[in-house]
Each structure stands twice: as C-alpha cells, then as structure tokens.
Amino acid sequence: MPPAVDQTISDQPALKPLILVTHEFFPHRGGIAVYAAEMAKAAQACGHDVEVWAPALPPGVVEPAWSFRIKRLPLSGDHSLQSQWRMARHLRKNRTRLQEAILYIPEPGPLLALLLLQFFDRLHISSLVITFHGSEIQRLSARRFLRWSTKHILHKAARIGVVSKFAGSLLEKHFPDSAGKIVVTPGALRTDLAIPETARASKPSRKKIVLTVARINPRKGQLQVIEALKRLPTAQQALLEYWLVGSHSKDNYDVALQTAAQGANFPVKFLGDIPDDQLGDIYAQADLFAMTSMPHKQSVEGFGLVYLEAGAHGLPVIAHDIGGVAEAVAHGETGLLVAPGDQSALTAAFARLLDDPALSRQLGAAGRVRAVSHTWIAAARALFGHLPETKSPSPS
C-alpha cells in the first residue's frame, strides 16, 4: 500500500491570515482549479487562517464543505476586462485586510487584475505570493505593456512559486530579477483521490485500453495519439481501444479527432467530462495512460498533475518530452518520453508497452511510488514559510 499523503493538521500557533484569490475554482475543472483548492487546504493545515475569493457558483450548484472560508464574487471567472475590473475593485475595497494578510495569487486571472489595479491605486499588501504554471509567463512577456507591469508586480512579490524547474527557468529568462524569489512547488495528488491499496492485478485476455484524461484541446495532443496508434500493425490495432475523457473542445478540434478516428482499426471512445469521483473506475479499466502535449500558440505544459494521478493508479505513461513534463514523468522509470513531432518514435513507444506487460507493470509500480512522494503540505510550507514583507515601490 502506498504511503498516505501528508495532510495532518498542524498544531503550531496560528500564522498570518492568507487570502487566496482565483478565477479558477470549483466547479471549474482542470489542473489550476485543483492546485488552487489544494493549496488552500494545505495552507489551512499548516496553521494559516485561509479565505478563498472565487467566482460565483452557477445556479443550482451546491458549495462543498471546505475546511476554509470562501467568498463568492460577482464575476464569471474568465480573463475578460470586465472580470479583471470587478476583481480589482474587490481587492481595492479590501485593502485594509490585505495590509495584514498574505495575498496568494495561484493563477493568471487575478494577476491580470492586480496588473490593472497598480496603475490606479496602490495596495499595501503585507506579503504577496504568486504561482506561475508556464503558459502565462510567455503571454505576459510577449507584450511590452504586460511585460513592464509584470516586472513591477514581481518586484513587489515576497515569494514566487513555479510548478516545475522548467517554469522557473522560463520565468528567469523573461523576468531575470525574479530569480532570488523562486521556489518549485509542483503540487501533488488530489486529497480526495481514492488511491488503489494494491498494485494492479493481471487481467484476463481482452483489448488493451489506452487512456487520455485532458481537455479536448490541440495542446493536449489527442490527435497525435490517434495517429501514432494508427501506425501500429493492423493485428496490434485490433487488440486495443483508445478512450478520451474530457470536454471543452476548441477550434473544432473534436471534429478533427473524430475524422482521424474514422480511419482507425480500433475503437476510439469519447467519454466526455467524467466527474472526479468516477474517474477511478476509468483508470482501473485502462492499461496505459497517454497525454502527448504539443506546443500550441503560447501555451506550454508546465508540469501535469494528471500524470501523477495516472501513476497513482499504477498506469505506465507515454508523453511528449516538452515543457515541465519530464519532471512529472521520469523517462524509463515511470513512463516513456518522446520528442514532440516524432511520430515514428511515438508509435514505437506504444508498441513497446503494449507488447511488454512486465515493463508496463514495472513502470506503473514506480509511478505509484513517485505519485505519493509529492505532498501539498510540503508545497505550502515551501511557498508560505518565513515570508519577508512585500516591497511597495511605485510603478515608475
């Protein structure tokens, strides 16, 4: 049985209050929403008095019983100018509280609001902490105004978290002055994840299932998986199925996937957006996990919590060696990494694992150990422990 995830409530005295501000939170799905919620839980467990500011719940959606307080704001949670302005107004309205608290911004939505606000008002924040995931670094550095304003915000920050060493190097490249404040906090498994207590058992002869759990988006590489599997020998294709879990298609990408699937000699099943509490059954039926992230516009895979989740279920992983993926998937230890665009190598990786059950079990077992080695408590301590006071220069 894998060791339990460390989520023990700290018995230390109460620390400085922490206000976590996010545009991506329950019921929003995705890695950033998970990251924000779990960091709030971990900060609370470490002794902080935590309050989360998040977008309003959709009608009919019930708020879960969180361990921390939550304030729902009248904004939609997108990156529109209207949402940014509403968030900026709320920050300004609560300026007195921010003088005594840690303000934690775990994703780019509220960061844009803060960038906007600094030119109209000066917030005196006790300690400003920001987390970067990867793609937003490229977007913020691509435009002169955003690059300039981000530089000033980072100068004010007490600490800057990144989800991988790759994201850290990207941040240092575009914003060199941030180097001394960076800590790597990749995150961990969801605390509500039901981790199997034993290693995966051998299954009776049947079709082998390749699984991807990700948004239906060109950056997630589902098309590359289909094309690679179609290059396998016909006899091998006849022994497999490809399952896709996810929604939120962009740029008619689902149409491209369905078109590609029509020429396959194996079933391609689109399972839709399955709730987190039902994903365990899907993982249990799969034999191999694949998410071959691709460069797409200014987006990049900063880490990939889903790789840890697949590993926790004992699945060997096939992925592209891009961004921070190599820090989530250890090549030759928990999975196989292939250079993006090398379709022949990708097909060979699938063929190798589909033909070698012993290797698949070995990689899957190592993935279980690696997955539970990460904890949110460790990430929270690294990010919020012994914070210096935030600087308050004028943006000049």
**Which class for 346: exposed (0-12), middle (13-18), buried (19 or more C-beta within 10 A)?**
buried
> How is the chain split into domains, by residue range?
18-188+376-384, 208-373
Query: What percent of the chain has a predicted confidence (pLDDT) above 90?
Result: 75
Find out whether 21 and 103 touch, Cβ atoms under 8 Å.
yes
pLDDT digits (tens, 9 = 90+) for 350-378: 999 999 999 999 999 999 999 999 999 99
The topology (CATH level 3) of 18-188+376-384 is Rossmann fold (3.40.50)
Q: Which of 127, 100, 123 is nearest to 389 (CA)?
A: 127
Judged against a pLDDT cut of 70, whether residue 387 lies above it is answered with: yes
| pLDDT beyond 50 at 94 | yes
Buried b (16+ CB within 10 A) or exposed e, 305-336: bbbbbbbbbbbbbbbbbbbbbbbbbbeeebbb
- Per-residue confidence (pLDDT) for residue 80, from 0 to 100: 82
* pLDDT tens digits, 224-281: 999 999 999 999 999 999 999 998 777 789 999 999 999 899 999 999 999 988 999 9
Cα separation, 141 vs 186, whole angstroms? 22
Q: Please give the pLDDT value at position 390.
A: 60
Give the global pTM.
Answer: 0.90
Task: Specify the pLDDT at position 301.
Answer: 94
Q: How confident is the model at residue 383 (pLDDT cuts 50, 70, 90)?
A: very high
* pLDDT at residue number 395: 40
| pLDDT (tens digit per residue) in 167-220 | 999 999 999 999 999 999 999 999 999 887 766 666 665 899 999 999 999 999
Tell me which architecture the domain covering 208-373 has in CATH.
3-Layer(aba) Sandwich (3.40)
What share of residues in the chain are helix, strand, coil (percent, to 5)? Answer: 40, 15, 40
207 vs 77, more confident: 207
Question: Nearest CA to 378 among 42, 20, 68, 4?
Answer: 42
Q: DSSP secondary-structure letter at 277?
A: G
CA 131 to chain centre: 11
pLDDT band for position 9 (50/70/90)? very low
Q: What is the pLDDT of residue 4?
A: 41
Any idea which of 102-106, 203-207, 311-315, 325-329 has the lowest mean pLDDT?
Answer: 203-207
* 282 vs 86, higher pLDDT: 282
Mean of per-residue pLDDT scores for the chain: 90
Residue carrying the six token digits 């060979």: 348
**In the predicted structure, residue 6 carries a pLDDT above the cut 70:** no
Task: Please tell me the predicted confidence (pLDDT) of residue 97.
Answer: 92
For position 198, what pLDDT does the model report? 67
The two domains 18-188+376-384 and 208-373 share their CATH topology (first three levels equal): yes
**Strand partners for 69:** 51
For residue range 134-160, list pLDDT tens digits in order: 999 999 999 998 999 999 999 999 999
Note the pLDDT tens digit of each residue in 112-130. 988 888 777 667 888 999 9
Percentage of the chain exceeding pLDDT 70: 91
Long-range contacts made by residues 76-83, C-beta under 8 angstroms, separation at least 24? 77/23, 77/24, 77/25, 77/28, 77/109, 78/23, 78/109, 79/23, 79/108, 79/109, 79/112, 83/23, 83/55, 83/109, 83/113
Query: What confidence score (pLDDT) does residue 344 get?
Result: 97
Identity of residue 245: V
Residue with tokens 């995150």: 187
